[in-house]
Amino acid sequence: MKIVACNSNPPLAEAVAAALDLPLAKALIRRFADMEIHVEILENVRGEDVFVIQSTAFPANDNLMELLITLDALRRSSARRITAVIPYFGYARQDRRTSPRTPISAKLVANLITEAGANRVLTIDLHAGQIQGFFDIPVDNLYGAPLFARDIKERFAGRDIMMVSPDVGGVARARAIASRLNCDLAIIDKRRERAGVSEVMNVIGDVEGRNCILIDDIVDSGGTFCNAAEALLLHGATSASAYVTHGVLSGKALDRIEASPIETLTITDSIRLDATRACPANLRVLSIAPLLATAMRNISEETSVSSLFD
């Protein structure tokens, strides 16, 4: 079993390798003068079970090409099995045709990963579960719900909590955590006028006097969560916090979150935070390295991965 780390999130790859008590495989990933990507695997991988760790977050296209070229390099180096470990699967929000003459980019990316040489994919909290069906190879989609449920139980012990879905599409995700914690569920009814802009319309459920916790898979611009937190407090909620798997946090998202009434926004390290920006006081990061490490070990040993969902 060997682990190859691309450049999107070295700290996560190092944490996964440490959890497995394995060194990262030696590999050279660099740019030519014209910014073409060159990959060279610097140790023998013939007959090995190789895991490539790479989130396809910003810059999405560069990180995707790094992944594809690394997969091709490993395939041509006679690796026995190649697993693409993609903590954050970019292009997942383009999983269907929303208007005429538009692509289904998530399907295209699935085809590229397969053709590049991946034998299976390991990811966490796909934006749309049906993306698993876009692949013709096995896909293990892990869930952040058990990790979040444990953390909420510790941090909110003794408080009257309520899970909240920030939109109708995320109800199943919020309900999964609500059922684990045996608490109530509310829904934010919102209208999105255009991509990246949302307007909260109504709160479905009695949130008065409750400590509300928003649950979602992606926080991008942060507008949805800031608006939702304000709406919850206007409807009498005691506090508003959020748990989100993937912190895309594009544009001025960090500034919005810092200035918002959100008590704490908890994300995972599936995407590396911008090291040039100061982290807001109300932003927390949980590591998914132990979860990925266990899943990778189970895949390598051909044991159950679904047991991690419990």
Q: Tell me the binding residues.
A: 34-36, 93-94, 127, 167, 192, 216, 220-224
* Contact indicator for 161, 153 with CB cutoff of 8 Å: no
Indicate the annotated binding residues for ATP: 34-36, 93-94
DSSP character for 309?
Answer: G
Indicate the annotated binding residues for D-ribose 5-phosphate: 192, 216, 220-224
**Which residue is associated with the tokens 């003459």?**
101
Look at the chain and count its residues. Answer: 310
Please tell me the distance from the alpha carbon of residue 186 to that of residue 232, in angstroms, as a whole number: 10
Tell me which residue of 162, 139, 161, 173 sits closest to 246, measured CA to CA.
Answer: 173
Choose the catalytic residue: 2, 107, 153, 190. 190
Whether 2 is a known active-site residue: answer no
Provide CB contacts within 8 A for 12, sequence distance 6+.
53, 55, 87, 269, 270, 272, 287, 288, 289, 292
Indicate the annotated binding residues for Mg(2+): 127, 167
For Cα atoms 223, 243, 126, give the angle at the middle one, nearest 5 degrees. 85
Q: Which residues are catalytic?
A: 190
